[in-house]
Structure 1
């Protein structure tokens, strides 16, 4: 018995096949958006660390600068701080590694620098 015309042209299951084909594209897009959010958050962390470090360092020196810069840095982010005088300014640079997909795992081979500078506080009132 030959199949009827309606059974041959039936497209049941087509949606499942299309979804299965586009699922990897959807997952890659979500991963890229998540990575972009992590990069943006790393920019925010680096800038905040530099601002806090330079604020404390101009009065308390390099040790206070490093302590203040690392105070709000989450433990999963790798960061280095460079604090010191530069002429009439006190400068702080916070170099923060960008994590790959989730903090605490692997880092991308790029870092984001947050920089801040303020005039030295006059201590001789």
Structure 2
């Protein structure tokens, strides 16, 4: 009677297939810390893009507020009221609105200028101006 030798199945190794012993181990050590370096290098670009998006949002908000203030100032001034006070009340105070209503015989025009602060360093704020015209009521 002959005995059949038992062969143990091979275990899968962590090195990967077809590589020399120790080659996968060396490349794994060489790549340590690379992802944090990539993130650190890309972080200023991400921050700049985020601040630019916030700045564009503030500019849009400022333009909307200036338009609302100009319409309110022109509407109140066309009826003989205090258009400057109405324009100031219609705009957020942190935008520092400057209201200039001009009542004419047929038309009343109001111009509102707001100052949007700058978010991105080294760039100043922005002045936005909007104008509205309403027929003068007698």
Please give the TM-score of this superposition, normalised by the length of structure 2.
Answer: 0.74
TM superposition shift of 1:7: 3.2
Kept in 2: contact 1:89–1:119 (CA 8 A): yes
Task: State the number of aligned residues.
Answer: 114
In the alignment, structure 2 segments of 5+ residues that lack a partner are 1-21
Structure 2 Cα separation of the partners of residues 107 and 51 of structure 1: 27
Higher share in strand: 1
TM superposition shift of 1:60: 2.4
- Deviation string 1:69-109 (CA, Å, 9 cap, x unpaired) is 0113222111111111245210000011121129xxx961x
**Which of the two has higher C-alpha Rg?**
2
C-alpha RMSD of the superposition: 2.1
Please give the TM-score of this superposition, normalised by the length of structure 1.
Answer: 0.81
Partner of 2:90: 72
Partner of 1:114: 130
Where has structure 1 moved over 3 Å in runs of 4 or more?
Answer: none
Kept in 1: contact 2:105–2:136 (CA 8 A): no
Q: Comparing both chains, which one has the higher relative contact order based on Cα–Cα distances under 8 Å and sequence gaps of 6 or more?
A: 1
Partner of 1:40: 60
Mark the CA change 1:47 to 1:84 in structure 2 (over 3 Å): closer, same or farther: same
Structure 1 Cα separation of the partners of residues 37 and 98 of structure 2: 49
TM superposition shift of 1:113: 0.9
Mark the CA change 1:60 to 1:86 in structure 2 (over 3 Å): closer, same or farther: closer
